């Protein structure tokens, strides 16, 4: 068999093209000294196909061919003294080649080819070196029989009972040293889970005899007793001391000292915590056998409370008597009690500009029981760039949000005492209250209040449930009188009712997520999130029972206000496929539907419950709220530009493109470009997005805006693009450039805008001029740049 590493191909991205042609990076072999060569290829021959990829990893890292982009970064920046950027050249070193040969040979021997031999050779051409490793594997040795020799009867019984469940070593199987190491580690953990605190891996040894036949091994597993003792002792938990320092890590001043019960002694130098906020998540109780899993569980759950900065593993002290008991000590450093974070960004889109300011205040230990209070404010404003002003008169729209969340690290249910669920994660109860004020110039001012109680808990490490049993929502809209007249003249009753009415509802939400914990991994898995939002049913029963009054539209009211009755469903399904290394392909399908019924219809339900699309996380070539519904065309809908039409068109911009049905599909290929780009991993992506929103029923004057099976494909938008991700480990910056490929607002072949009008991608022409004339001066942009924090999905 033969395996090889080729030089990394040139990625078709703007950054890679620029770097490959700048003056300081045109040659892979420049700056090499007289007799130096650059390693550019590795060939491995004679290795079984099953092990070829693994064998390549045993070549010393310094002799692995460079990633082209990493090398160019190094050459570009190292001249300025920044040698920690990129990847230094892999200079041929004969000593490291010999070391690699020995490592490959040992690897094959460990895989059962006990007589394997590996030779090496080097080919150099034009200062580029190719390393050749040739293996003669010989026979593969298999296991003939397996025995054990365990002096401690308790340990022997534990091993024999559990061995069928964990062992990778079986008679007739390949003699594999990695499998032996795996078995040793697995049984070590079994011992640690069953009270054997003093047990070490070194007690487990293997003897093998390969002289019986040329390709057969007899194996014996031996577990020794501790020196000077006839057995392995089993330990139980005794007392537990919990010490909380101040946020600076110091234990100074007077401490709150409490003897909680016969097990826990609580010493708090910070004076901020009640004992149960910590003891609830100590899973090793007095008289229990020592269990390494419960030790890890304790550390993990205390860390997940998000109120402690440092939670090391508990330490244990053996009692000096012969009772085999362990005293436990847990030392914790809390985070600062209060924090305040200010965030901001500048917005520029379609000739408009604005800003988004946010502030988050956090109290990390409200009521001294690890409850977290967060008060968030966010204010975004969009100005008309044509006015060259940031005065109040130039504001197109603004959005003010104020919210408070109180999060308890447990499930709080009235009249019921629930146990502490923490095997898979810390459960939470969240009390939330939010206020939003949205203003659209010359159209509407809308206020909404939302109050809810939400529970979240993990059924397993991969299954998350989120349940909101009660959510109270109240919305009130005030339409500009002039705009109201224009809306009614155009028979736009839906917009008038949706954005101008006062309405409320009481509802419930539930969502289920699968594999949320795997989203940052590179394995093969499927992520699923399904949610249901239902409201108004209880209010409908009450209104019917008490025969409450109806409003002018014939809708039932409670306390004089109409209420919404609906069900909203949404699914987010993603398939993650690993392509080796840090390469990954993701396919995503995100459908949703809102079904108003009973006391509600699609003309009268809650405006905030509608679906929108466009933006950095779905259809990336469109701005938010600027796609659909269906084949909706704003120029055709409002007619030829006139003073009246232009006024209404401007007023409804960013509000008139919504729907009760949504289908979004995304496909994205992600790959690594460079390991070190100013301290971050530089990654790239190619993507394609497709989808739209649709109205549930036909609408007056809106051509092909409703959801029909024969209207799905003709009204589906498509974009393509590429982007960069700057991975700093704790968060990711993202920059994407997306191109409109198919725009359903245009008919027939004209919808394939990128193909039809490619010549106008970066310049003006007949297509853009016509669009500007028929859309009241709005320009058509093929490309949209999106900057964000975190992955798009």
Helices 153-166/177-193 angle, 10° precision: 120
Most confident of 26-35, 62-71, 208-217, 534-543: 534-543
**What average pLDDT score do residues 309-328 get?**
92
What whole-number percentage of the chain has pLDDT above 90?
Answer: 58
What whole-number percentage of the chain has pLDDT above 70?
Answer: 91
Confidence at residue 104, expressed as pLDDT on a 0 to 100 scale = 96
Binned at pLDDT 50, 70 and 90, residue 3 comes out as very low
**What average pLDDT score do residues 382-389 get?**
63
In 3D space, the residue among 415, 404, 331 whose CA is nearest the CA of residue 371 turns out to be 404
Q: Where are the beta strands (DSSP E) in 630-731?
A: 661-677, 680-694, 717-727
Burial class (CB in 10 A: 0-12, 13-18, 19+), 374: middle
Q: Taking 80 as the threshold, does the pLDDT of residue 384 lie above it? A: no
CA angle 427, 430, 431 (to 5 degrees): 155
CA 12, CA 21: separation in Å to the nearest integer? 13
Look up residue 662 and give its two tokens. Answer: 């949504």
Mean pLDDT of the chain: 87
CA 424, CA 269: separation in Å to the nearest integer? 30
Confidence at residue 16, expressed as pLDDT on a 0 to 100 scale = 46
Output 648 or 409, whichever has higher pLDDT.
Answer: 409
Q: Is the whole-model pTM more than 0.85?
A: no
Instruction: Please give the full DSSP string across 520-589, using - where no structure is assigned.
Output: TS-S-EEEEEEEEEEESHHHHHHHHHTT--B-TTS-BEETTEEB--EEEEEEEEEEEEE-STT-EEEEEE
**What average pLDDT score do residues 769-788 get?**
86
Give the SS3 label for residue 516: helix
Q: Taking 60 as the threshold, does the pLDDT of residue 9 lie above it? A: no
Confidence at residue 25, expressed as pLDDT on a 0 to 100 scale = 42
Confidence at residue 278, expressed as pLDDT on a 0 to 100 scale = 93
CA 78, CA 91: separation in Å to the nearest integer? 16
CA 296, CA 313: separation in Å to the nearest integer? 7
**What average pLDDT score do residues 319-327 get?**
93
**What average pLDDT score do residues 380-397 get?**
67
With contact defined as beta carbons under 8 Å apart, do 517 and 461 qualify? Answer: yes
Confidence at residue 23, expressed as pLDDT on a 0 to 100 scale = 42
Confidence at residue 672, expressed as pLDDT on a 0 to 100 scale = 87
Please write the tens of the pLDDT for every residue from 230-252: 999 999 999 999 999 999 889 98
Give the SS3 label for residue 85: coil
Look up residue 466 and give its two tokens. Answer: 């989120």
Q: Which of the residue ranges 148-152, 366-370, 649-653 would you say has the lowest mean pLDDT?
A: 649-653
Please write the tens of the pLDDT for every residue from 598-645: 888 776 678 888 999 998 889 999 988 889 899 998 888 877 777 666
Burial class (CB in 10 A: 0-12, 13-18, 19+), 321: exposed
Rg (CA), the chain: 33
Confidence at residue 348, expressed as pLDDT on a 0 to 100 scale = 63
Please write the tens of the pLDDT for every residue from 272-295: 999 999 999 999 999 999 999 999
Confidence at residue 740, expressed as pLDDT on a 0 to 100 scale = 96
Q: Which of the residue ranges 30-34, 163-167, 502-506 would you say has the lowest mean pLDDT?
A: 30-34
Q: Which residues of 131-153 are buried (b: 16+ CB within 10 A; e: fewer)?
A: bbbbbebeebbbbbebeeebebe
CA 441, CA 530: separation in Å to the nearest integer? 36
Confidence at residue 768, expressed as pLDDT on a 0 to 100 scale = 92
With contact defined as beta carbons under 8 Å apart, do 629 and 717 qualify? Answer: no
Confidence at residue 347, expressed as pLDDT on a 0 to 100 scale = 63
Q: Which of the residue ranges 5-9, 66-70, 184-188 would you say has the lowest mean pLDDT?
A: 5-9
Please write the tens of the pLDDT for every residue from 563-599: 889 999 999 999 999 998 889 999 999 999 999 998 8
Query: In angstroms, what CA-CA distances link 447 with 399, 400, 602?
Result: 10, 10, 20
**What average pLDDT score do residues 193-204 get?**
95
Residue 418 DSSP class: -
Confidence at residue 275, expressed as pLDDT on a 0 to 100 scale = 94
Give the SS3 label for residue 261: coil
**What average pLDDT score do residues 387-415 get?**
80
Look up residue 228 and give its two tokens. Answer: 């000077």
Please write the tens of the pLDDT for every residue from 76-85: 777 665 666 7
Q: Taking 60 as the threshold, does the pLDDT of residue 8 lie above it? A: no
Confidence at residue 443, expressed as pLDDT on a 0 to 100 scale = 86
Task: Provide the 10 A C-beta neighbour count for residue 98.
Answer: 12
């Amino acid at each position: 068999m033969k395996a090889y590493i080729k030089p990394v191909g040139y990625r078709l991205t703007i950054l890679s093209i620029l770097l490959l042609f700048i003056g300081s990076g045109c040659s892979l072999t420049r700056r090499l000294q007289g007799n130096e060569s650059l390693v550019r290829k590795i060939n491995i021959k004679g290795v079984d196909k099953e092990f070829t990829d693994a064998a390549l990893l045993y070549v010393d890292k310094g002799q692995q061919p460079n990633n082209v982009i990493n090398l160019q970064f190094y050459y570009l920046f190292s001249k300025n003294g920044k040698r920690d950027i990129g990847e230094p050249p892999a200079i041929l070193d004969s000593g490291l080649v010999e070391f690699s040969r020995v490592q490959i040979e040992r690897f094959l021997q460990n895989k059962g080819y006990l007589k394997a031999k590996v030779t090496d050779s080097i080919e150099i051409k034009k200062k580029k070196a190719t390393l050749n490793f040739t293996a003669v594997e010989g026979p593969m040795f298999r296991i003939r029989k397996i025995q054990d020799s365990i002096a401690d009867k308790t340990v022997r019984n534990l091993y024999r009972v559990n061995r069928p469940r964990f062992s990778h070593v079986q008679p007739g199987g390949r003699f594999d040293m990695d499998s032996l190491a795996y078995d040793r580690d697995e049984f070590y953990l079994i011992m640690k889970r069953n009270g054997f605190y003093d047990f070490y891996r070194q007690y487990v040894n293997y003897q093998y005899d390969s002289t019986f036949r040329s390709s057969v091994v007899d194996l014996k597993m031996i577990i020794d007793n501790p020196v000077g003792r006839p057995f392995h002792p089993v330990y139980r938990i005794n007392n537990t001391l919990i010490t909380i320092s101040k946020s600076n890590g110091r234990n100074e001043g007077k401490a709150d000292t409490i003897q909680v019960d016969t097990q826990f002694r609580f010493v708090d130098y910070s004076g901020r915590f009640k004992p149960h906020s910590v003891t609830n998540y100590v899973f090793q109780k007095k008289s229990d056998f020592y269990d390494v899993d419960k030790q890890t569980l304790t550390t993990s759950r205390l860390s997940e409370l998000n109120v402690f900065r440092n939670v090391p593993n508990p330490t244990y002290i053996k009692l000096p008597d012969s009772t085999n008991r362990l005293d436990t000590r847990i030392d914790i450093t809390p985070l600062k009690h209060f924090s305040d974070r200010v965030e901001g960004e500048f917005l520029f889109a379609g000739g408009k500009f604005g800003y988004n300011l946010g502030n988050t205040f956090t109290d990390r230990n409200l009521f001294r029981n690890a409850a977290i209070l967060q008060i968030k404010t966010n204010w975004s404003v969009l100005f008309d760039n044509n006015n060259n002003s940031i005065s109040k008169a130039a504001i197109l729209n603004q959005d003010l949000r104020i919210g408070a969340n109180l999060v308890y690290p447990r499930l709080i249910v009235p009249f019921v005492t629930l146990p502490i669920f923490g095997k898979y994660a810390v459960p939470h109860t969240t009390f939330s209250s939010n206020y939003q004020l949205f203003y659209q110039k010359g159209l509407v001012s809308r206020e909404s209040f939302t109050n809810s109680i939400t529970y979240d808990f993990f059924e397993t490490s991969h299954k998350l449930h989120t349940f909101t049993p009660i959510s109270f929502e109240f919305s009130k809209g005030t339409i500009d009188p002039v705009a109201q007249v224009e809306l009614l003249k155009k028979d736009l009753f839906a917009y008038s009712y949706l954005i101008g009415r006062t309405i409320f509802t009481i509802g419930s939400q539930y969502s289920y997520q699968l594999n949320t914990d795997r989203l940052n991994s590179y394995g093969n898995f499927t992520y699923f999130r399904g949610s249901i939002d239902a409201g108004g049913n209880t209010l409908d029963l009450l209104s019917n029972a008490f025969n409450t009054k109806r409003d002018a539209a014939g809708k039932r009211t409670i306390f004089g206000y109409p209420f919404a009755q609906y069900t909203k469903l949404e699914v987010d399904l993603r398939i993650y496929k690993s392509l080796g290394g840090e390469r990954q392909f993701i396919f995503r399908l995100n459908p949703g539907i809102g079904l108003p019924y009973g006391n509600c219809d699609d003309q009268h339900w809650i405006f905030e419950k509608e679906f929108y699309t466009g933006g950095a996380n779905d259809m990336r070539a469109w701005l938010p709220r600027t796609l659909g519904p269906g084949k909706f065309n704003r120029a055709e809908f409002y007619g030829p530009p006139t003073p009246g039409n232009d006024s209404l068109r401007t007023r409804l911009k960013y509000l008139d493109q919504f729907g009760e049905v949504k289908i979004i599909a995304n496909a994205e290929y992600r790959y690594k470009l460079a390991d070190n780009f100013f301290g971050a991993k530089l990654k790239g992506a190619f993507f394609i997005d497709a989808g739209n929103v649709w109205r549930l029923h036909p609408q007056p004057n809106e051509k092909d805006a409703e959801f029909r099976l024969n209207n799905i494909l003709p009204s589906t938008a498509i974009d393509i693009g590429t982007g960069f991700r700057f991975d700093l480990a704790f968060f990711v910056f993202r920059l994407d450039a997306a191109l409109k490929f198919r725009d359903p607002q245009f008919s027939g072949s004209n919808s394939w805008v990128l193909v039809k009008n490619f010549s106008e991608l970066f310049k003006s022409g007949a297509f853009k001029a016509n669009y500007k004339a028929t859309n009241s001066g709005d320009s058509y942009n093929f490309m949209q740049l999106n900057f964000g924090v975190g992955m798009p999905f």
